[in-house]
Copies of this chain bind each other. A is one copy, B any other.
C-alpha cells in the first residue's frame, strides 16, 4: 500500500429523518470523486445517523476544504443537524485519570505502545502517585493532583480546588478523550457538562445493575451468574450516561468478591479499550441518552 493510502476522512452526521439524505450525502461525495470505504446508516425515533469514511487520497483537497463544503450540505438539513469531519491523519489526543488500580491504565499504555489505539496520550493525572513510575516508564507525563481524604474537615472545598487543577491540566491539552480509567472520584456536574461527549468512564458492573459504590460486592450479595463492565460517557447523573459498550463473564457460587474483582478486570480492560477505540474512530454518535455505534 502506498504511503497514506489508509488515511481517511471520516464524516459523521445526524438530523431529523426524511427521504433523500443518503442520496444527498453520497451524491456530494461522488461529485468529489470520493472513494467510500465504509458507510453506515441508521434511523430510529425519526432521527437519521450516518458515518462515512472516504480515502483521503481520493478527494482533491484537504480536510479543511472538505469540512467547509460539507458544512453547506449539512445546513440544508436544518438547525438540528449535527456533524463532524475528521482526518485520520491527524492523531487524536487523550488524557487519562487514575487512582491506584493499575489494570486499565496498564492495558491502555500497552495498546498505545503497540500502536493498537489511534491516539496520542498527552498526560495521566492521578489523585495518588502510585502509578507514576509505570506511566513515566512509557514516556508519558504524570501529574499528581491529591484529593482531600474522607477525614478532611474542609473536604468539599478541597475537592473543588483539586478538580479545578485537574480541569486546568486537562483543558491545556484540548483532548478528544478524557478517560476515567478507574478514577475513584465523582466528576462534578460542571466538568461533565464541559467535557460532554469526551469524558469516558469504565464502570465495573453491567449497568444499570449495581450503580454506585462497590458493584462487585453488590453482585456477590445478589448471587448473579454473570458479572460485567460498562463503558459510558460521564454525565452529571452518576453511572447513567449514554452507554458505549458492555460485556459480561460468567461467575458461579465458587467466586468470592476477591475473585470477582480479579476476573472482572479482564472485562473492564476489554470494554474500556473497545469503547475508547470506537470513540476515537468517530464511530459513536450520541443522541439523547443513547448511542449509535457504527462498528
Given A116-B262, A222-B243, A291-B223, A36 contacting B58 (CB threshold 8 A):
no
Instruction: Type the 1/0 row for A14-58, where 1 means its CB is closer than 8 Å to any CB of B.
Output: 000001101110110111011111111111100001000000001
Would B224 and A246 count as touching, CB distance under 8 A?
Answer: yes
Report chain B residues within 8 Å CB of A33: 19
Interfacial chain B residues near A84, Cβ < 8 Å: none
The total of chain A residues at the interface (CB under 8 A) is 66
State the oligomeric state as a number of copies.
4
Question: Any chain B CB within 8 A of the CB of A245?
Answer: yes
**Residue A191 is within 8 A (CB to CB) of chain B in the complex:** no
Q: How far is the CB of A121 from chain B (nearest CB, A)?
A: 15
Can you list 18 pairs linking A and B with CB atoms under 8 Å apart?
A19-B30, A19-B33, A22-B26, A22-B29, A22-B39, A23-B30, A26-B26, A36-B41, A38-B41, A38-B254, A39-B39, A42-B253, A102-B113, A103-B114, A106-B110, A207-B209, A208-B209, A222-B289
In contact, B19 and A293 (Cβ under 8 angstroms): no
The answer, yes or no, to whether A169 is at the interface (CB within 8 Å) is no
A183 lies within 8 A of chain B by Cβ: no
